[in-house]
Chains A and B, each alone.
Chain A
Amino acid sequence: MKIWGLPAPRLSYLRVSLGLVALAFAGLMLADMQISVQHPGDELRRLLSGFLRPDFLAISVSALIRTVAFAVLGVGLGGSVGFLFSIVFARSRIVRITCAFLRSIHELFWALLLMQITGLSPLTGVLAIALPYAGVFGKVFAELNEEADLSALRVLPSGTSTLSAYFYARLPVLAKPFADYTLYRLECGLRSTLVLGFIGLPTIGFDLDSYFKQGDYAQAGALLMSFYALIATRRLWARPLTVPFLLVGSFFSLPAGLNGGSAMANLARFFGHDIVPAPLRHGNLSSLSPWMDTAGWLWRIGKGQILPGLIHTLVLSQIALVAMALMSLVLFPWVCLRFAGPLGRPLGRALLVVARSTPEYMLAYVLLMVFGPSMLPAILALTLHNGAVVGYLMGRQADALVFRQDAPSRRLDLYFYEVLPRLYGQFLAYILYRWEIILRESAIFGILGVTTLGYYVDAAISDLKLDVAFVLLLATAALSMTVDFGSRWLRAQLRIQDFPRRLSQERIAPHLEKAQFSWKA
Chain B
Amino acid sequence: MAKANAAPMTAKVHETARAHMAIAVHEPKVGYGEKLILENLAFTIESGERVAILGRSGAGKSTLLNLIYAKCAPQAALVPQAHALVRTLSVFHNVYMGQLDRHSTWRNLRTLIVPNAVQKAEVEAILSLVGLSEFLFTPTGALSGGQQQRVSVARALYSQRPILVADEPISALDQSQGDRLLTALRQSCDTLVIALHDVRLALAHATRIIALDKGMVWLDAPANTLQWHDLAPLYETSA
Contacts and interface: CB of A to CB of B under 8 A. Distances in A.
Please say whether the chains A and B touch (CB closer than 8 A).
yes
Contacts of B67: 517, 519
B77 interface: yes
B108 A152 contact: no
B100 A165 contact: yes
A163 B161 CA distance: 22
A286 B129 CA distance: 80
A157 B80 contact: no
A151 interface: yes
Contact of B101 (A151, A160, A172): A160
A31 to B, nearest CB: 48
B93 A152 contact: no
Given A151-B80, A520-B30, A172 B89 contact: yes
B108 A168 contact: yes
Interface string B27-59: 111111100000000000000000000000000
Contacts of A164: 100-101, 103, 105, 108-109
A56 B154 CA distance: 62
A168 B97 contact: yes
A157 B109 contact: no
Contacts of A520: 27-31
Given A152-B97, A157-B77, A157-B101, A168 B86 contact: yes
Contacts of A159: 74, 101
Contacts of B29: 519-520
A521 B97 contact: no
Given A160-B100, A163-B109, A168 B93 contact: yes
Contact of B33 (A157, A168, A518): A518
A159 B103 CA distance: 10
B183 to A, nearest CB: 23
A161 interface: yes
Interface string A394-438: 000000000000000000000000000000000000000000000
A243 interface: no
B185 interface: no
Given A152-B97, A168-B108, A173 B86 contact: yes
A161 B106 CA distance: 10
B105 to A, nearest CB: 4
Interface string A134-157: 000000000000000001101111
Nearest to A516: B32
Interface string A492-521: 000000000000000000000101111111
Contacts of A158: 73-74, 101
B88 A157 contact: no
Of the listed residues A168, A519, A520, the one surrounded by the most CB atoms of chain B closer than 10 A to its CB is A519
Nearest to B152: A155
Nearest to A164: B108
Contacts of B101: 156-161, 164
21 contacts: A151-B83, A151-B84, A152-B85, A155-B84, A155-B155, A161-B100, A161-B105, A163-B108, A163-B109, A164-B103, A164-B105, A164-B108, A168-B97, A168-B108, A169-B97, A515-B33, A517-B63, A519-B67, A520-B30, A521-B27, A521-B28
**Which 4 pairs show the lowest CB-CB distances between chains A and B?**
A151-B84, A159-B101, A164-B108, A160-B100
Given A173-B86, A515-B32, A519-B29, 15 more contacts: A151-B82, A151-B84, A156-B101, A157-B77, A157-B98, A157-B161, A163-B109, A168-B97, A517-B32, A517-B63, A517-B66, A517-B67, A517-B70, A519-B27, A519-B31
